[in-house]
Amino acid sequence: MHDARLTLVRSALCAVVLVACTSERLTLVPAPDQARTPPTVRSACALTEQKCSRCHDLERIRLAHHELVDWPVYVDRMRRMPGSGITLDDATVIVRCLKWVESLQRERALYSLEH
């Protein structure tokens, strides 16, 4: 009985580790687009993920209707929220990331219309 329980616990632990190792971490720039994203934009998106995820789920940001948003105005409004931790310099960097994500979404939309 003890061996069966131990085997079950080991199997469950292995399954948890396997899922943790193979699941993709959610980022604003999807994995297939990482290689062609300039290092400065990847860095900008890392800051964006850190700052914006304090209040927003990254999926919400990634799925936003980017073409409808005036990012400098929106980010400045978020910057002024109590506890945002977003500085004026951060805001400029965050806008760089969000505009890149917007361009990726626009590119995907055009591609899907063509195919």
How many angstroms separate the CA atoms of 55 and 52, rounded?
6
Positive or negative CA dihedral for 64, 65, 67, 70?
negative
Cα angle vertex 40, ends 47, 60, to 5°? 40
Specify the pLDDT at position 22: 36
Specify the pLDDT at position 79: 96
Joined tokens for residue 12: 């469950």
Indicate the domain borders of the chain.
26-114
Specify the pLDDT at position 3: 56
User: Looking at per-residue confidence, does 21 or 94 come out higher?
Assistant: 94
33-54 per-position pLDDT tens digit: 999 999 999 999 999 999 999 9
